Structure 1
Amino acid sequence: MSKTPELERGLVVASHGRHVVVETPEGRQLICHPRGKKSQAVVGDRVLWLASTDEGSIEKVEPRRNLFYRQDEIRTKSFAANLDQVLILIAAEPEFSESQLARALIAAEAERIRPLIVLNKSDLPELFARAWARLEPYRRMGYTVLPLSLKAQGAGSDDTLAALQQELDGRATLVLGPSGAGKSTLINRLVPGAQAPTGEISTALNSGKHTTTSTRWYWVDAAHRTALLDSPGFQEFGLQHIGAAQLAGLMPDLREHAGECRFYNCSHLHEPGCGVIAAVDEKAGGTGISPSRYRIYSELHAELSQAPRY
C-alpha cells in the first residue's frame, strides 16, 4: 500500500497570477499552484501544501485573522492576510489625498487592523508643515502619526527612522500608499538586499510612477519576528464591500458623536438632533469633526448607498 503524501505548512510570501510563492518553516521558497481554477491564497496566508517534483499545490488555506482588501464595481483586490498593522505612507510631496487616506483607514478599521500613518519628506520644511497640519484631525482621533525623512541624511533622519522601527518591531506590517510616497525606498532601507524598484516622481502629474505590481513579504530580521509587505500603488481605493450604514462606525471622529443623535438610524446627513452634524467644527484647529472629514463621510455615504450589495 502506497503511503499518503504528507501535507506541509508554509507561508505565502508572493503572488504572481495563478501561482504563489510559499516559504517553508526552514526558509526554503517554492512555487505552488492552487487546486481548482482560482487561487484563494493571498500573501500572508498560512497554507497546507503538497509537494510535486520541484513545485507544490495548495491544498488548504488556514483560517485568517483578517484580510485587507479593496473592492470597486469591477473587482476585489486583496492586498494581504494576517496583518498586525497597516502603515499608510504618504508624503509632503506629491500632495496626498485625504479621501484616499480616509478610505485606507476605514478598510483597516473594518478588519480591526491597527493603522499607522507616516508622513515622509520632513526634509521639505514648508511642504511638510502644511501636510502635517492637515493630519491634525487624525492625531486628535488617536491615530499614531509619525514624521519621516527617507531622503535626508544625518541624525534627524536617523531619529525618524528609528522611531518608525520601534512601531514595526515584532509585527507584520503592510506598507500602503500612493505611488511616489516612498514605499519601495522604505523597504530598501529596512530590508537589505530587497532591492524593491523605486521610481522618480512625475512632476507634470504630481504623482508617482507605479513600481510595484503585487504584494511581497519581506523579513526584516533573521529571527523572522518582523515583516514588511510591499504593496502595489493605487489610484483608487474602492470600499464597496462596506455598507453605507456601517460607515460612521468606522470613522472614529464620527463614531464618538453618533450616540448623541436623536434617531437610532440617523444617517448623519440631514436629520434634526444629529450629534454628528452638531459636532462639525468650522473653526481652523477646532476640537470637533473637521469639515473635510465630514465632507469625505458625505461623499462616501452617497457612493456606498448607490453601490450594489454583494
Structure 2
Amino acid sequence: MKEGRVIQSTGKWYKITADDNTIEARLPGKFRLDAKEVTNPIAVGDYVDFETENDGTGIIREIKERKNYIPREATHGRRGEQILVSNVDRAWVVQSIRKPRLNTGFIDRFLVTCEAYEVPAGIIINKKDLANQKDLRLLEDKSELYENLGYEFLSTSIHDKESLLQLADQLKNQTSVFIGPSGVGKTSLLNAIDPDIDLKVNEISSYSNKGKHTTTFAKLIALSSGGYIVDTPGIREFGIVNIKKSELSLYFPEMREPREHCKYYNCTHFHEPKCGVVEAFEEGKIDPDRYHSYLNILETLPDY
C-alpha cells in the first residue's frame, strides 16, 4: 500500500502523485455508494492510500482524514454537495474589477463557507489595469473593509509586476487554491507568476462579456518557487451548504460580538425585536453591503 496525493480528478479516474511519480487511479464503487450525499467522494488535494495494479494503474483503498475542505451546493439539478478542494493552507476568491464586473455577493458567500469550514481565506481583485477612477475608489473601500475583517486583500494585474510579486509571495510554500468565475483571470495570473506552468487561456466572450471555461478539471500544480496551487474551473454560482439560518451570523466576523446582545438565542437578525446585530448595523458598525449580503444569503438557507 502506498500513500499519494490527488492532483487531478476527471470523473471516474484520478491522477495521484507519489514518490515523484504520477499514476492514474480509480475508485471502487463502494466509496461512491457511501458518499451518496456528495457528488465527488474524492477531491483534488486529498491524501489517499492506494495499491498498484498489474497494468500500472492504481486502485484507491482509503481516503485520509482531511485537514479542511471547501464544499458548495451541487449544481445541474443534483442533490447534496460538491467538494471543490481539500487540505489547503489558504483559499483565494478571485474576481475582476471589470470584464466580468466585480461580484461582492460571490465574495461574501465564499468567505462564509471558508469561515464555516475553517479555511483561511483571501481576496484577489484582478484586472486593476482596466479600472477607472470610480473603480479605484471602490477597490480602496473594499480593501479597507475586508482587511479590517481579517482577510488578505490583493489588487492585481498581469501588467503590474509589483502586484504579481506580492501575490507570488503569498503563494510561496503554501497549498493554495484560486476559486472564481470564468474570465476573471485566474489562469492568466498563474502563468504570469510562474511561466513554466504554461496553462491554456481563453478570451472573454464578446457577446456576454463573461469568461469562457478554460480549466475543465481542478488541478494541483507545483510552483517553481515552492508550494502548490489548485487551478479550478470557473464557477458562476457558489451555493452554501449545511449552514442553518440561526448559525449564519457566526460566519460574519463583524456580527459575532453584536449577536451576543440579541434577545433570542435563535435570532436571524432580520425582523426580531431587540437584535444586537440590527442595532450595530443601524449604528454604522456593520457595513451596509455586508449586511445586505447577509440578508441575501439568509433568504437562500433552509429553515431547519
Write the letter of the residue equivalent to 1:171.
Q
> Over residues 200-241 of structure 1, what are the superposed CA-to-partner deviations in whole Å (9 max), with x where a residue is unaligned?
12244232111112210001037xx41000011111111132
In 2: Cα distance, 1:299 partner to 1:259 partner: 22
Q: How many residues align?
A: 289
> Over residues 89-109 of structure 1, what are the superposed CA-to-partner deviations in whole Å (9 max), with x where a residue is unaligned?
111112121111111111111
Counterpart of 2:56? 54
Counterpart of 2:115? 109
Structure 2 stretches lacking a partner, 5+ long: 33-39
2:147 corresponds to which of 139, 145, 152: 139
2:76 corresponds to 1:63: no
Moved more, 185-194 or 107-116: 185-194
SS across alignment from 1:232:
coil
2:72 corresponds to 1:74: no
Q: Structure 1 length normalisation: TM-score?
A: 0.87
Counterpart of 1:254? 255
Counterpart of 2:240? 239
Write the letter of the residue equivalent to 2:245.
A
> Over residues 119-142 of structure 1, what are the superposed CA-to-partner deviations in whole Å (9 max), with x where a residue is unaligned?
112222416414404514222212
2:27 corresponds to which of 28, 34, 48: 34
Q: Is the 8 A contact 2:68 2:86 kept in 1?
A: yes
Q: CA offset at residue 281 of structure 1?
A: 5.1
Counterpart of 1:207? 210
In 1: Cα distance, 2:21 partner to 2:278 partner: 55
Query: Identical aligned pairs, as a percentage?
Result: 30
Divergent runs of 4+, >6 A = none
Counterpart of 1:271? 272
In 2: Cα distance, 1:98 partner to 1:45 partner: 29
1:297 corresponds to which of 276, 286, 294: 294
Counterpart of 1:3? none
Moved more, 200-209 or 164-173: 200-209
Q: CA offset at residue 193 of structure 1?
A: 3.4
User: Per the alignment, do residues 133 and 95 of structure 1 end up closer, same or farther by CA in structure 2, a change over 3 Å counting?
Assistant: farther
Q: CA offset at residue 263 of structure 1?
A: 2.5
Write the letter of the residue equivalent to 2:162.
D
Write the letter of the residue equivalent to 2:139.
W
SS across alignment from 2:256:
helix
Counterpart of 1:122? 128
Q: Structure 2 length normalisation: TM-score?
A: 0.89
Q: Is the 8 A contact 1:34 1:40 kept in 2?
A: no
SS across alignment from 1:149:
coil
Structure 1 stretches lacking a partner, 5+ long: 1-6
In 1: Cα distance, 2:248 partner to 2:63 partner: 30
Moved more, 59-68 or 119-128: 119-128
Q: CA offset at residue 191 of structure 1?
A: 3.5
> Over residues 172-215 of structure 1, what are the superposed CA-to-partner deviations in whole Å (9 max), with x where a residue is unaligned?
00111111111111222233333322121224423211111221
Query: What is the root-mean-square deviation in Å for CA atoms of aligned residues?
Result: 1.9
Counterpart of 1:216? 219
